[in-house]
């Protein structure tokens, strides 16, 4: 069994009026079967309201399934006895860092998680140092979090999760507010955690260029998994992605437009090097012809 498994997962929000009568039911997650192996880098895409955040919140037992089952490291999230293990093993980083920071000083905030796990003091400091260095915030360790900008706070939040030494980190649009450099640093840190520490990554994002490193991409629409495959397979389908309110990286879009204009470029180009190589091949062929 993988680190995260879901079987026929359904989640419904019940909307009630002021008297508590049921006004309607919204099915936010609809029959999702997901299998994530230990050490995988998974990306989940989907437009606003497609159900991806609701799905993510099942992975560390913030939401419980209405129907179906979710297992984290083989443990059913519905069983109370598993709750603490699951919350430590599957860390979560949310979009808005202001909702996640509680410490008066950056290093205290990062140490809060391991402290609650009962980690010895000396090791807490080690973990705080490693975690802050991993996100490039070590020089700010003595700062008050409310003196930091949004992007800096987000990196502190990520450090706070890393310090818990989770097996799996779920990041729900962690870069939505960062500048290009901040985004690069966060994604680089996330990739390093995946490559070096073999922490499983589940990345939810609206930035298409962030997912090209994933082993597998899921695209959600109306609570269901609408597409699933490698980044190349997903990005080969430019029109389908657009119909799901999504997009492709600029290099993929340019390659697609050139294909539409009649150039023989393969579908699903993900990097600048690939595009340059295939244009060079076309030029050589034309030169010889």
Partner 1 sequence: MSIILDHVSHVYEAGTAMEFAALKDINLVIPDGQFIGLIGHTGSGKSTLVQHLNGLLAPTGGNIYYNGADIHDNDYNKKELRSKVGLVFQYPEHQLFEIDVFSDVCFGPKNLGLDKKEVELRSYAALKQVGLEDEYFYQSPFDLSGGQKRRVAIAGVLAMQPEVLILDEPTAGLDPKGRDEILDQIARLREETGMTVILVSHSMEDVAKYVDRIIVMNKGQVMFDNEPREVFRHYRELEEVGLAAPQVTYIMQELKKSGFDVDTDIITIEEARRAILDALK
Decide if residue 105 touches partner 1 (CB under 8 A): no
Footprint on residues 24-83 left by partner 1 (CB under 8 A)? 46-49
Decide if residue 257 touches partner 1 (CB under 8 A): yes
Least Å from the CB of residue 246 to partner 1: 5
Minimum CB distance to partner 1 smaller for 70 or for 226: 226
Least Å from the CB of residue 227 to partner 1: 15
Least Å from the CB of residue 92 to partner 1: 17
User: Among 107-115, 122-130, 179-187, 226-234, which window interacts with partner 1 (CB under 8 A)?
Assistant: 179-187
Minimum CB distance to partner 1 smaller for 116 or for 144: 144
User: Among 69-77, 107-115, 190-198, 276-284, which window interacts with partner 1 (CB under 8 A)?
Assistant: 276-284
Footprint on residues 189-228 left by partner 1 (CB under 8 A)? 206, 208-209
Footprint on residues 133-152 left by partner 1 (CB under 8 A)? 147-152
Decide if residue 249 touches partner 1 (CB under 8 A): yes
Decide if residue 240 touches partner 1 (CB under 8 A): no
Decide if residue 181 touches partner 1 (CB under 8 A): yes
DSSP assignment string, the chain? --SEEEEEEEEEEEEE-TT--EEEEEEEEEEEEEEE-TT-EEEEEE-TTSSHHHHHHHHTTSS--SEEEEEETTEETT-GGGHHHHHHHEEEE-S-GGGT---SSHHHHHHHHHHHTT--HHHHHHHHHHHHHHTT-GGGTTS-GGGS-HHHHHHHHHHHHHTT--SEEEEESTTTT--HHHHHHHHHHHHHHHHTS--EEEEE-S-GGGSTT-SEEEEEETTEEEEEE-HHHHHT-HHHHHHTT----HHHHHHHHHHHTT----S---SHHHHHHHHHHHHHHHHH-
């Amino acid at each position: 069994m993988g680190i995260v498994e879901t079987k026929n997962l359904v989640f419904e929000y019940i909307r009630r009026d002021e008297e508590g009568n049921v006004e309607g039911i919204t099915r936010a997650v609809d029959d999702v079967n997901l299998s994530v192996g230990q050490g995988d880098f998974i990306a989940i895409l989907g437009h606003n309201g497609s159900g991806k955040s609701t799905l993510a919140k099942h992975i560390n037992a913030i939401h419980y399934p209405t129907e179906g089952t979710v297992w984290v490291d083989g443990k059913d999230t519905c069983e109370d006895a598993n709750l603490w293990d699951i919350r430590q093993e599957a860390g979560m980083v949310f979009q808005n860092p202001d909702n996640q920071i509680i410490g008066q000083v950056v290093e205290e905030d990062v140490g809060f998680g391991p402290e609650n796990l009962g980690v010895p003091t000396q090791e807490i400091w080690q973990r705080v140092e490693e975690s802050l260095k991993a996100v490039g915030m070590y020089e700010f360790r003595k700062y008050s979090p409310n003196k930091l900008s949004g992007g800096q706070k987000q990196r502190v939040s990520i450090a706070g999760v890393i310090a818990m030494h989770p097996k799996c980190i779920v990041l729900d649009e962690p870069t939505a507010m960062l500048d290009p450099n901040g985004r690069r640093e966060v994604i680089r840190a996330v990739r390093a955690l995946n490559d070096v520490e073999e922490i499983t990554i589940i990345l939810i994002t609206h930035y298409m260029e962030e997912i090209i490193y994933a082993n597998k991409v899921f695209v959600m629409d109306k609570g269901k998994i609408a597409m699933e495959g490698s980044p190349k397979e997903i990005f080969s389908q430019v029109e389908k992605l657009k119909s799901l309110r999504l997009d492709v990286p600029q290099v993929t879009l340019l390659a697609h437009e050139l294909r539409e204009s009649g150039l023989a470029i393969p579908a699903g180009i993900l990097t600048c090097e690939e595009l340059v190589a295939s244009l060079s091949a076309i030029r050589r062929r034309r030169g010889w012809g």
